[in-house]
């Protein structure tokens, strides 16, 4: 056999493209070739935010297929996206693979499908190609999705999907797993109930296909989710998925920053170099979170009130008028940061985060404590995990109008700095344990090696 070739297909969102890209880069480092399939819309964004374009011969090739939405449809509308994907993408993927094979460029040996694109395993089955799923969320979210049919059977979730029927707020999927708050079920935190329902319906359609493979990979580690991995031993931890930041001058396919929807602003790195160690509050809410003007004002004025230096990411699509009292003189604002690099910088003290799973894994891997401000989906349950189970974060609370006030932000930042020794030392202990997994001989390291062997065979 020539070079083993993997087709990687992430769900169409930044928090899915990034871990799939990192995983693809690991596969390339282990001798594979990867064909990375984005939706056309995201492919354009990824390519235009890359500083250096890929060459035709690259071992990590970016390609695209349509997502089934019209040119003017809103790609942030998850309900619409989840309805469009199954109608258009399986057929388009099959055609793409046929074309690749016809041209004789490569022979695809294996498909790595995002858990939220697991229908691609069925495309592979029809074409005689093996598959694997990669879950970019926590193992507990994977388990929750897998358990929805059981929860319906037990009368905890209604069969029409979405609503919880149980009067009990706290349930356990298995005795070894942490308790879950039924109000934190991710599909109940997606804005309108009908959005959550459509998303869950789509994800259950994906989950129907995961039995087509024995390889259930997940961006987690045994220390982070011991009880869940005990209950679901089929889930193989391969995390933390961290980009190789070592060698900026070597622009090979495994070190290049690829997959970002927005161009990274590296000016914040030299700014961080000028700040004292452990002094900067890093504030970033991932790729989806949107604040209204009022919340934006409270956040801006809260940062001023802390009187600390801060690095704040405000995406272009959520840019607002700054409140006129805002000084911001102790801060640096960028529209998209090289987040993994930022979190590994010694100047960073803590991370004000929406608790997306990638941000969570990146913070944990760098020993950075969290100030948790979850927004939607799985973020509330990730926050519980960070604050109550791992004990490396503080929750930021909303007032009765659902707003985080400037005083609340200031108080939590102050509380963090008053206790930073304990929180920081717990975070550093956890960092060691988490990183051991990807060192030679570690669990995730060995799981990746086993997986690559499977591809080669
Ligand atoms: N990210 C980044 N720069 C930023 C903000 C975020 O590179 O300024 C990356 C971050 O490192 C992570 C991803 O975007 O890999 C966000 O994923 P996450 O699961 O945290 O949140 P989501 O965007 O899915 O809500």
- 15 C-alpha to center of ligand 1: Å? 6
The structure tokens listed for 80 are 């619409």
Q: Is the pTM of this model over 0.85?
A: yes
Return the pLDDT at 105.
80
Helices 14-29, 443-456: axis angle to 10 degrees equals: 70
pLDDT in tens, 247-269: 554 556 555 679 999 999 999 99
pLDDT at residue 362, as a whole number: 98
pLDDT of amino acid 419:
86
**Span of 19-28, 116-125, 152-161, 203-212 with lowest mean pLDDT:** 152-161
Does residue 353 line the site of ligand 1, with CB under 6 A?
no
Q: Please state which of the ranges 4-18, 79-93, 186-200, 394-408 shows the lowest mean pLDDT.
A: 186-200
Do the domains spanning 5-239+438-456 and 263-434 agree at the CATH topology level?
A: yes
3-state helix, strand, coil in the chain (%, to 5): 45, 15, 40
User: In this predicted model, what pLDDT tens digit does every residue of 117-143 receive, in sequence order?
Assistant: 999 999 999 999 999 999 999 999 999
Taking the centre of ligand 1 as the mean of its atom positions, its distance from the CA of residue 10, in whole angstroms, is 15
Ligand 1 touching residue 362 (CB < 6 A)? yes
CA–CA gap between residue 334 and residue 150 (Å, rounded): 45
Pocket test for ligand 1, best of 339, 355, 357 (most atoms within 8 A of CB): 339
More confident position, 371 or 160: 371
Question: Closest ligand 1 atom, CA of 260?
Answer: 7
Q: What residue's CA is closest to ligand 1, atom 11?
A: 339
Residue 256: what pLDDT? 65
365 CB near ligand 1 (under 6 Å): no
The CATH number of 5-239+438-456, from 3.40.50.10420, 3.40.50.2000, 3.40.50.1100, 3.40.50.620, is 3.40.50.2000
CA 18 to ligand 1: nearest atom: 15
pLDDT exceeds cutoff 80 at 455: yes
Tell me the mean pLDDT in the region 235-241.
98
Minimal-distance CA residue to ligand 1 atom 18 = 356
Domain coordinates in residue numbering, the chain:
5-239+438-456, 263-434
Torsion, CA 202, CA 207, CA 210, CA 211, rounded to 10: -130
Q: Which of 58-72, 218-232, 234-248, 257-271 has the lowest mean pLDDT?
A: 234-248
- Cα–Cα distance for residue pair 130/455, rounded to 1 Å: 9
**Residue 244: per-residue pLDDT:** 83
Q: Quick one: tokens of 219?
A: 């961006």
- Mean pLDDT of the 320-328 span: 95
Write down the CATH superfamily of domain 263-434.
Glycogen Phosphorylase B; (3.40.50.2000)
DSSP letters of 264-314? --THHHHHHHTSPTT-EEEEE-TTT----HHHHHHHHHHHHHHTSEEEEE-
Instruction: Say yes or no: CB of residue 337 within 6 Å of ligand 1.
Output: yes
Q: Which atom of ligand 1 is nearest to the CA of 313?
A: 8
d(CA 111, CA 10): 11
User: Residue 357 Cα, ligand 1 centroid: separation in angstroms?
Assistant: 9
Binned at pLDDT 50, 70 and 90, residue 164 comes out as: low
> Does residue 22 have its Cβ closer than 6 Å to ligand 1?
no
pLDDT at 27: 97
- Kindly give the distance from the C-alpha atom of residue 260 to the centroid of ligand 1, in angstroms, as a whole number: 9
> How many Cβ atoms are within 10 Å of 154's Cβ, its own excluded?
12
**Which pLDDT belongs to residue 158?**
86
- In this predicted structure, what is the pLDDT of residue 233? 97
Alpha carbon distance 127, 121 (integer Å): 10
For residues 296 and 20, what is the distance between their CA atoms, to the nearest angstrom? 31
Model confidence pLDDT, tens digit, residues 383-424: 999 999 999 999 999 999 999 999 999 999 999 999 877 999
CA pair distance 16, 259, nearest whole angstrom: 10
Helix axes 14-29, 357-365, angle to 10 degrees: 50
């Amino acid at each position: 056999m020539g070079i083993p070739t993997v087709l990687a297909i992430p769900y169409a969102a930044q928090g899915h493209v990034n871990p799939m890209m990192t995983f693809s880069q690991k596969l390339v480092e282990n001798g594979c070739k990867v064909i990375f399939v984005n939706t056309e819309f995201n492919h354009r964004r990824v390519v235009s935010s890359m500083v250096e374009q890929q060459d035709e011969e690259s071992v990590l090739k970016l390609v695209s297929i349509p997502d089934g939405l019209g040119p003017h449809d809103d790609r942030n509308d998850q309900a619409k996206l989840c309805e469009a994907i199954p109608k258009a993408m399986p057929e388009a993927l099959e055609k793409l693979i046929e074309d690749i094979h016809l041209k004789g460029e490569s022979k695809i040996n294996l498909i790595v499908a995002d858990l939220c694109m697991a229908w691609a395993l069925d495309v592979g089955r029809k074409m005689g190609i093996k598959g694997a799923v990669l879950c970019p969320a926590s193992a507990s979210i994977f388990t929750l999705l897998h358990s929805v049919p059981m929860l319906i059977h037990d009368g905890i979730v209604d069969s029409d999907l979405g609503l919880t029927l149980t009067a009990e707020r706290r349930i356990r999927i298995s005795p070894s797993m942490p308790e879950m708050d039924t109000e934190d079920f991710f599909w109940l935190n997606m804005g309108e109930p009908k959005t959550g329902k459509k998303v869950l319906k789509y994800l259950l359609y994906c989950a129907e296909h995961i039995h087509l493979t024995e390889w259930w990979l997940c961006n987690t580690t045994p220390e982070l989710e011991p009880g869940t991995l005990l209950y679901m031993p089929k889930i193989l931890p391969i995390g933390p998925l961290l980009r190789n930041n070592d060698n900026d001058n070597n622009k090979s396919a495994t070190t290049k920053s690829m997959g970002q929807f927005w161009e990274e602003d590296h000016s914040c790195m030299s700014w961080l170099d000028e700040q004292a160690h452990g002094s900067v509050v890093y504030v970033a809410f991932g790729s989806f979170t949107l604040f209204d003007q009022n919340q934006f004002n409270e956040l801006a004025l809260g940062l001023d009130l802390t009187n600390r230096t801060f690095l704040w990411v405000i995406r272009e699509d959520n840019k607002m008028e700054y409140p006129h009292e805002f000084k911001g003189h102790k801060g640096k604002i960028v529209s998209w940061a090289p987040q993994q690099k930022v979190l590994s910088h010694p100047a960073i003290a803590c991370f004000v985060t929406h608790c997306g799973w990638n941000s969570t894994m990146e913070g944990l891997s760098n020993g950075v404590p969290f100030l948790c401000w979850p927004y939607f989906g799985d973020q509330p349950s990730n926050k519980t995990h960070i604050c109550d189970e791992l004990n490396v974060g503080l929750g930021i609370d909303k007032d009765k109008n659902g707003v985080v006030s400037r005083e609340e932000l200031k108080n939590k930042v102050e509380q963090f700095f008053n206790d930073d020794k304990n929180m920081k030392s717990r975070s550093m202990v956890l960092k060691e344990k988490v990183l051991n997994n990807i060192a030679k001989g570690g669990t995730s390291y060995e799981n990746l090696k086993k997986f690559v062997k499977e591809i080669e065979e």
